Homo-oligomer: A and B are copies of this chain.
Amino acid sequence: MRPTTALRRTLLLTSTALVLGLAASFAAAKDKPKDHTSGPAAAYQPSMTTLGELNVEIPGRREGDPVMTQEEYNAANKMYFQRCAGCHGVLRKGATGKPLTVDLTRENGFEYLRDFINYGSPAGMPNWGTSGDLSDEQVDMMARYLLLDPAAPPEFGMAEMLESWKLIVAPADRPTKKMNDIDIDNLFSVTLRDSGQVALIDGATYEIHTIINTGYAVHISRISASGRYLFVIGRDALINMIDLWMETPATVAQVKIGAEARSIETSKFKGYEDKYAIAGAYWPPQYVIMDGDTLEPLKIKSTRGMIYDTQEYHPEPRVAAIVASHYKPEFIVNVKETGKILMVDYSDIKNLKVTEIEAERFLHDGGFDASKRYFLTAANARGKVAVIDTKTSALVSILETGGQTPHPGRGANLVHPTYGPVWATSHLGDDTIALIGTDPEGHPDSAWKVVQTLYGLGGGSLFVKSHPTSTNLYVDATLNPDAETSGSIAVFKIAEMTQEEPEYTVLPIVEWAGIAEGQPRVVQGEFNVAGDEIWFSVWNGKDLESAIVVVDDRTLTLKAVIKDPRLITPTGKFNVFNTRADVY
Which residues of A are interface residues toward B (Cβ below 8 A)? Answer: 57-62, 149, 155, 157-159, 284, 286, 297, 299-302, 304-306, 310-313, 350-358, 393-395
Task: From B61, B300, B356, B394, give the contact of A354 (CB < 8 A).
Answer: B356
What CA separation (Å) do A313 and B158 show in the bound complex?
Answer: 9
Top 4 nearest A-B pairs (CB, nearest first) are A158-B311, A302-B305, A157-B312, A353-B355
Q: Which residues of B contact A304 (CB under 8 A)?
A: 302, 304-305
Q: Which residues of B contact A286 (CB under 8 A)?
A: 306, 313
What CA separation (Å) do A521 and B310 show in the bound complex?
Answer: 45
Task: From B58, B149, B351, B356, give the contact of A357 (CB < 8 A).
Answer: B351
* A308 (CB) vs chain B CBs: closest residue: B350
Q: Which residues of B contact A61 (CB under 8 A)?
A: 60-62
* A313 (CB) vs chain B CBs: closest residue: B155
13 A-B pairs whose Cβ atoms sit less than 8 Å apart in the complex? A57-B62, A157-B310, A159-B310, A286-B306, A286-B313, A300-B306, A302-B306, A302-B313, A351-B355, A351-B356, A351-B394, A352-B355, A354-B356
Q: Which residues of B contact A159 (CB under 8 A)?
A: 310, 312
* A284 (CB) vs chain B CBs: closest residue: B313
What CA separation (Å) do A157 and B312 show in the bound complex?
Answer: 5
Instruction: Tell whether, in the assembled complex, residue A299 and residue B311 are in contact, meaning their CB atoms are under 8 Å apart.
Output: yes
Q: Which residues of B contact A305 (CB under 8 A)?
A: 301-302, 304
- The smallest C-beta distance from A16 to any residue of chain B, in angstroms, reads 34
Oligomeric state, in copies? 2
* A305 (CB) vs chain B CBs: closest residue: B302
What CA separation (Å) do A358 and B348 show in the bound complex?
Answer: 11
Q: Which residues of B contact A358 (CB under 8 A)?
A: 350-351
Q: A61-B62, A158-B310, A286-B313 are in contact. List 18 more A-B contacts (CB 8 A).
A: A58-B62, A59-B59, A59-B60, A60-B60, A60-B61, A155-B313, A157-B313, A299-B311, A301-B306, A302-B304, A302-B313, A304-B304, A350-B357, A351-B393, A352-B355, A353-B354, A354-B354, A354-B355
What CA separation (Å) do A297 and B306 show in the bound complex?
Answer: 13
Instruction: Tell whether, in the assembled complex, residue A158 and residue B302 are in contact, meaning their CB atoms are under 8 Å apart.
Output: no
Instruction: Tell whether, in the assembled complex, residue A157 and residue B351 are in contact, meaning their CB atoms are under 8 Å apart.
Output: no
What CA separation (Å) do A306 and B284 show in the bound complex?
Answer: 12
* A70 (CB) vs chain B CBs: closest residue: B63
Q: Which residues of B contact A158 (CB under 8 A)?
A: 306, 310-312
What CA separation (Å) do A158 and B300 show in the bound complex?
Answer: 27
What CA separation (Å) do A351 and B354 show in the bound complex?
Answer: 10
Q: Which residues of B contact A353 (CB under 8 A)?
A: 353-356
Interface hub of A351, A393, A395 (most chain B Cβ within 10 A): A351
* A345 (CB) vs chain B CBs: closest residue: B355
What CA separation (Å) do A312 and B62 show in the bound complex?
Answer: 31
What CA separation (Å) do A400 and B358 show in the bound complex?
Answer: 40
Q: Which residues of B contact A284 (CB under 8 A)?
A: 313
What CA separation (Å) do A352 and B305 show in the bound complex?
Answer: 13
* A356 (CB) vs chain B CBs: closest residue: B352
Q: Which residues of B contact A301 (CB under 8 A)?
A: 305-306
Q: Which residues of B contact A306 (CB under 8 A)?
A: 157-158, 286, 300-302
What CA separation (Å) do A239 and B301 show in the bound complex?
Answer: 30
What CA separation (Å) do A354 and B304 show in the bound complex?
Answer: 15
* A349 (CB) vs chain B CBs: closest residue: B358
Q: Which residues of B contact A355 (CB under 8 A)?
A: 351-354
- The smallest C-beta distance from A60 to any residue of chain B, in angstroms, reads 6
* A299 (CB) vs chain B CBs: closest residue: B311
What CA separation (Å) do A286 and B311 show in the bound complex?
Answer: 11
- The smallest C-beta distance from A332 to any residue of chain B, in angstroms, reads 13
What CA separation (Å) do A352 and B159 show in the bound complex?
Answer: 30
Q: Which residues of B contact A395 (CB under 8 A)?
A: 351
What CA separation (Å) do A57 and B155 show in the bound complex?
Answer: 25
Interface hub of A149, A302, A393 (most chain B Cβ within 10 A): A302
Q: Which residues of B contact A310 (CB under 8 A)?
A: 157-159
Interface hub of A57, A149, A313 (most chain B Cβ within 10 A): A313
Q: Which residues of B contact A155 (CB under 8 A)?
A: 312-313
* A302 (CB) vs chain B CBs: closest residue: B305
Q: Which residues of B contact A351 (CB under 8 A)?
A: 355-358, 393-395
Q: Which residues of B contact A62 (CB under 8 A)?
A: 57-58, 61
Q: Which residues of B contact A297 (CB under 8 A)?
A: 311
Q: Which residues of B contact A356 (CB under 8 A)?
A: 351-354
What CA separation (Å) do A158 and B60 show in the bound complex?
Answer: 27
Instruction: Tell whether, in the assembled complex, residue B311 and residue A157 are in contact, meaning their CB atoms are under 8 Å apart.
Output: yes
What CA separation (Å) do A306 and B257 show in the bound complex?
Answer: 14
- The smallest C-beta distance from A75 to any residue of chain B, in angstroms, reads 18
- The smallest C-beta distance from A352 to any residue of chain B, in angstroms, reads 5
- The smallest C-beta distance from A255 to any residue of chain B, in angstroms, reads 13
Q: Which residues of B contact A59 (CB under 8 A)?
A: 59-60, 149
Q: Which residues of B contact A302 (CB under 8 A)?
A: 304-306, 313
- The smallest C-beta distance from A93 to any residue of chain B, in angstroms, reads 13
* A341 (CB) vs chain B CBs: closest residue: B351
* A160 (CB) vs chain B CBs: closest residue: B312
